[in-house]
Amino acid sequence: MQIETAGYSVVHVTTGEDAIAIVAGQPGAFDLILMDIDLGPGIDGIEAAERIIASHDIPVVFLTSHTEREYIERADRISPYGYVVKDPDGMVLLRSITMAFRLFDAYDQLKQSSTGPRLT
């Protein structure tokens, strides 16, 4: 997979339930979740991502073949850090991962600065 050749470590799971379980079982071990929407039987990727981010501060990027409005709107409700339509060479995906990390870091810095001490 091109993600691994770009230097990222990847943990593969095949169901939404497995994704939830592995993140819950290894808190702090994951820097980003790249989630497909179609995961077969059980909950889909959007629901799995929603459950994960309810208790873990991890950016989610959806990687999917879905371009239908219904899926995009559902995914948008959980404020993902990206929604990437699968591309054959993976370049768009790799750039989206980089952008998601930058956005997550900027958001984290903003949260820290807004909760820190203030001088008046």
pTM: 0.79
10 φ/ψ sector (left φ>0, alpha ψ -120 to 50, else beta): beta
> What pLDDT digit, counting tens, does each position of 95-114 carry?
888 888 899 989 888 888 87
Q: How confident is the model at residue 117 (pLDDT cuts 50, 70, 90)?
A: low
Instruction: Domain ranges for the chain, please list them.
Output: 2-113
Q: What are phi and psi of 53, to 5 degrees?
A: -75, -10
Residue 6 DSSP label: T
How many other C-beta atoms lie within 10 A of the C-beta of residue 38? 10
At 118 the pLDDT is 55
At 86 the pLDDT is 87
> What pLDDT digit, counting tens, does each position of 33-89 carry?
999 999 989 999 999 999 999 999 999 999 999 999 999 999 999 988 889 898 877
- Return all residues near 53 (Cβ < 8 A) that are at least 6 apart: 60, 78
Domain 2-113 has CATH 3.40.50.10440: no
Residue 116 has pLDDT above 80, yes or no: no
